[in-house]
Amino acid sequence: MARSLAIAAYLASLGSNDRPKTSIEQPPRPVGTIIWARCSHHDQLTAVETLERKLAEDGDPVHVIATLLDWTPAYADRALPEPQGRAGIRKFMAHWQPVLGVWVKGDLDPILLAAMRKADIPLMFLDASAEGLEDVAGTWVPGAIRSILSQFEAVFALDQNTADRLVHAGTPADTVLVTGPMEDCAPTLPCNEAERTDIAKAIGTRAVWLAAAASLAECSELAQAHRIASRRAHRLLLIVVPRHADMAPAIAEDLRHRGFNVALRSDEPAPSEMTQVYVVDTEEELGLWYRIAPITYLGGTLGGGGCRDPFEVAALGSAVLYGPQVAPYQRHAGRLNAAGASMLIRSGADLGPSVESLLAADKAAQLAHAAWDVTSRGATVTNRIASLIQLRLEELV
């Protein structure tokens, strides 16, 4: 679409080289199709990573390169700094050679969008919001918003109200589709089905709970919780998967000193009838143990130090409980809490009574079902967007 001279002049006025720059060496470009995902906030990165997994499911080499507006080295393994200035943007595009760009929510940057237009990179607007449209141009320029919005060949709006506002602002109506938010979903962890069958057979009808990614510092809380929960189910089995496998011997020894019959997986392929605590010191994926245990406590969430993604548990049907320190997965925990799909405990003293309450099969099943609903709804939206992007890639590549 042709732009007015006023718009072109306005964009030229924004082209100052005084903007802050974060310069890092670009990693090597992988073989295959590159999609550039421009993110304005780190909360969007997990959703973009989910999208990349969906796009690569057919086996084609599709890579989504995310850039982050407020980048810090903490995100170096997940995103690159957003290129700044015309020269920086041109250099970025020349290196990565993206065939498609996806703009994830956030403010619409006229300079960046103009560079993409000049490079003939097709653009899609994901999680499109109408917030802040009046601030895009900085000053009022006739047709600026309409010109920017018409650059997107597909706009996936958060809701109907957003869609209406975007169309009113100048987005072509035939490019707007109401999809809802593109949710981030943890990958489904695999397991060896033969091993799962053997362990499940060895456990039989015993009640089981799991402490996932636990540390030595949590042994006291785990021991107290296991004693309390065992009042309801005296044959209760606790499976402990340490945060790191080399922690297992020390955890096993600590729990033995606390009076439990403890077995290490390297010594016993499956827990025996006498085993009260089964400590996994091998390198299997947690997916195996999430499938075995109907109740999972996320280690590290009481004392800090990092934890596993609660969506990993939710996707595999285990009821999940955790303490207040769920960084960096606050967003996932918040969504589960809001849906009544998880159990938040405030202190180590709450762990035992919480596990005990979940030993009632209907309570654990209620949490697990609600959690599965939260994760599956997000997957539906992402799958839909991935399918539409895949169709466009078939035309471009």
Q: Order of strands, edge to edge, in the sheet holding 295-298? A: 262-264, 277-279, 237-242, 208-214, 295-298, 319-322, 343-344
Note the pLDDT of residue 132: 67
What tokens were used for 304? 């800090």
Domain ranges of the chain: 5-182, 193-376
Asked whether the predicted pLDDT for residue 22 surpasses 60, the reply is no
pLDDT digits (tens, 9 = 90+) for 169-200: 889 999 999 988 887 777 789 999 999 999 99
Q: Are 326 and 307 in contact (CB under 8 A)?
A: yes
Note the pLDDT of residue 182: 82
Q: How far apart are CA 270 and CA 283, in angstroms?
A: 15
Nearest-10 crossing angle of helices 330-338, 361-396: 120
pLDDT digits (tens, 9 = 90+) for 326-349: 988 888 899 899 999 999 999 999
pLDDT digits (tens, 9 = 90+) for 296-325: 999 999 988 789 999 999 989 899 999 999
For residue 130, the one-letter residue type is A
Note the pLDDT of residue 328: 83
Least confident of 98-107, 157-166, 180-189: 180-189
Burial (CB < 10 A; 0-12, 13-18, 19+), residue 150, is middle
Note the pLDDT of residue 151: 93
Helix (H, G, I), strand (E, B) or coil at 319: strand
Start-to-end C-alpha separation, the chain: 23
Q: Is 193-376 in the same CATH topology as 5-182? A: yes
Least confident of 89-93, 104-108, 275-279, 347-351: 104-108
Sign of the CA dihedral running 122, 128, 133, 136: negative
Q: Are 55 and 386 in contact (CB under 8 A)?
A: yes
pTM over 0.85: no
Note the pLDDT of residue 203: 97
Note the pLDDT of residue 294: 95
Asked whether the predicted pLDDT for residue 21 surpasses 70, the reply is no
Burial (CB < 10 A; 0-12, 13-18, 19+), residue 120, is exposed
Q: Are 302 and 351 in contact (CB under 8 A)?
A: yes
User: H or E stretch including 301?
Assistant: none
Q: How far apart are CA 176 and CA 282, in angstroms?
A: 50
Q: How confident is the model at residue 274 (pLDDT cuts 50, 70, 90)?
A: very high
Q: How far apart are CA 176 and CA 181, in angstroms?
A: 14
Give the CATH fold of the 193-376 domain: Rossmann fold (3.40.50)
For residue 169, the one-letter residue type is A
What tokens were used for 187? 């990958």
The per-residue pLDDT of the chain, averaged, comes to 88
pLDDT digits (tens, 9 = 90+) for 28-38: 999 999 999 99
Asked whether the predicted pLDDT for residue 10 surpasses 60, the reply is no
pLDDT digits (tens, 9 = 90+) for 82-92: 999 889 999 99
- Other CB atoms closer than 10 Å to residue 87's CB: what's the count? 12
Asked whether the predicted pLDDT for residue 46 surpasses 70, the reply is yes
Contacts of residue 254, defined as CB under 8 A and 6 or more positions apart, other chains included, come to 216, 219
Please give the full DSSP string across 131-187, using - where no structure is assigned: TTGGGSSSS--TTHHHHHHTTEEEEEESSHHHHHHHHHHT--GGGEEE-------PP
Check: CATH 1.20.120.140 for 5-182?
Answer: no
Note the pLDDT of residue 383: 86
Note the pLDDT of residue 142: 58
Q: How confident is the model at residue 6 (pLDDT cuts 50, 70, 90)?
A: very low
Note the pLDDT of residue 11: 45
